Structure 1
Amino acid sequence: MANDTSVCSGIGTCVYANNCSCWNSTFWGGQNCDIHKCGNVLANSPSVCSGNGNCLAPGVCNCTEMYGGSNCNVPKCSNILATSPEVCSYSKGRCVSPNNCSCSEGYHGSNCELVSCFGVKNTSLNVCSGKGVCLSLNNCTCQQGFYGEKCQYYDCFSVRNDKKDVCSSHGNCSNIDTCNCTKPYYGTNCEKFDCYGKAQDSISVCSSRGFCSSLDNCTCQEGYYGKE
């Protein structure tokens, strides 16, 4: 009977035969108002609790391990809800699906916990030109003797490695105070050369009557001449 207190599970009105109108349709449904709801979805529906949990009681979802939120619609990364400011190493990325952080530019790692310096991951041997460590985003801490934002600079005898006059303009600076000289120049700073097979600082260079001013170029004392 429509006025029976047990009709429609006592929480609805029998509007016509075998058809109940539940008083709180947000939390109850079914033919007899005997099925509770979560998120306005019947507990026996496969889509209840976003398909990621069970509806234990009206409006109460019990979520699977990788989801949270009132309707189990929020994924977790490393057991942290995607809506938390702590997720993906304090918002260095977004938790787009369970245990899947989409990292912001410059960050990497399963939890966006690792950084890059100028496009090179801090786990790479080449980060900071191989001469420093990348401790924070685009911030290299250089080894002693190296400098520049990427630790790309160093000196050979007080001249920066990328300058034209490094190594006396006769070689390249391969490391701190290490010159690789272009033949026939030599010396620690590629500053030495010969005049006709004799070292520029030899007492017998230029027949002892001049000085070796450049490669195979003698400047003679007054009264003497000839290439040597």
Structure 2
Amino acid sequence: MSPIRKTSDHFHMYLSTVGVSTLSHCADKCVHGRCIAPNTCQCEPGWGGTNCSSACDGDHWGPHCSSRCQCKNRALCNPITGACHCAAGFRGWRCEERCEQGTYGNDCHQRCQCQNGATCDHVTGECRCPPGYTGALCQDQCPVGRYGVRCAETCQCVNGGKCYHVSGSCLCEAGFSGEHCEARLCPDGLYGIRCDKRCPCHLDNTHSCHPMSGECACKPGWAGLYCNETCSPGFYGEACQQICSCQNGADCDSVTGKCTCAPGFKGTDCSAPCPLGTYGVNCSSLCGCKNDAVCSPVDGSCTCKAGWHGVDCSIRCPSGTWGFGCNLTCQCLNGGACNTLDGTCTCAPGWRGLKCELPCQDGTYGLNCAERCDCSHADGCHPTTGHCRCLPGWSGVHCDSVCAEGRWGPNCSLPCYCKNGASCSPDDGICECAPGFRGTTCQRICSPGFYGHRCSQTCPQCVHSSGPCHHITGLCDCLPGFTGALCNEACPPAHWGPNCIHTCNCHNGAFCSAYDGECKCTPGWTGLYCTQRKRPASRTQGEPHQEDTAFPCAPTSSPGIQGLGLPTDL
């Protein structure tokens, strides 16, 4: 049975013993508990608050959270039972005890794996190595030359003495003694069991020879059986075993390993090139190159950029040349300028193309042919100036003015010779004759029987006309008393003359002649327009009887004009 279930049973037994009435009323519902009195809750273990809705904090447990937890070392306290749940590395009912040596972790159930007498962290199981050992499980001795706790100490043994990895004490080779094996048993320069042999080493290059074997111990920078050989290139120091770090052709000191940089480089290992603008040994000299020329970090010589030459690159390429060293010849044509850097051509106004070999395209002019010709009626414009080349018949700056009347040709410079109102073509000066005229200069009228534009139309058959039709309009020139397109219609009453354009002025019923408008008075009237009454006159015997008076009329013998009062010779 779980602790929570057992606790619940105990709680119900407790309620029974105190005689809690289940009939009590609480205004707020007891969330985790029972109402034992009006507005009074009895909380279950692990809960508190007026209505038992608040869980116990980490330091309290039991009903109403009234009991204080006894757990130690960050252990968790059960809010219902008060039991302690220990953190890793601890045990005991209050978690007050560390794990036994050799165990660690939750409930101290895990076994430590540390070696060589190392102690194990009771929480994580991490090994704490004793002096002289290293590794995750302290399984390794300190590396050669190191000793002590965490192998943090450096051995001080010399002359081939071996260092004890735990304490750092030295185990000397035969022929040496002292705390660090620094004492040579034989006097300097001698060796052997009786110290009666002379060392064969080169004295200036040797610390000493081995007191037993006579082996030479060379000074830094020297090697060989007798310490009479310098270090090989790239090595230095004791026994020439250390590798030089010098770069870029630097010299390495065989003793110290210090680098002597070649010109153009600097830095401890001579890996850094000279900063821009400097050159030489230790980059101590200043460059004198101009126009962004590249300065050699070694000797300061200038490598000119394209378009420049001279020792310090201060001189532009001569005209007509370009490129590195000004060794290339410009190819620009028609006055184009050559870029000394890359040889590209800057064309003169009016030209284009890689070599300025092409004139501007139609409609463009000027530098780079970037301008547009502003011409209306022209054969393009001048590629350099943009001046419009006017077509014949046009003039003006933009060729937008047609030639004035009487002028023609380029810029309207030629006079016209057309006559009789003819127009002159501004393009070629040819005369465009007005209707009714012909000839090179329109000096003649149409031939009889023709009229109109270019005299191309045939006259109609005029009936009562004075001749062929009009050379301009083609109209018939009617005789007096006739009208109509063909002059075949007699004048209507009260009209007379050519084309019947006149109105008769006869009065008192007089007859009007369609030919000349003469009035023929009725009896009793007289006068030019028959407006005067005729006075009675006595008759004389033998005189004719005349009832009326009028201008004499010719006899009407022509059937077509009978009764019109027209002349008979029409």
Identify the TM-score tier after normalising by the shorter chain.
Answer: 0.3 to 0.5
Please say which structure displays the higher CA radius of gyration: 2
Give the TM-score normalised by structure 1: 0.41
Identify which of structures 1 and 2 has the higher relative contact order when contacts are C-alpha pairs closer than 8 Å and 6+ apart.
1
The structure in which a higher percent of residues are strand is 1
Give the TM-score normalised by structure 2: 0.22
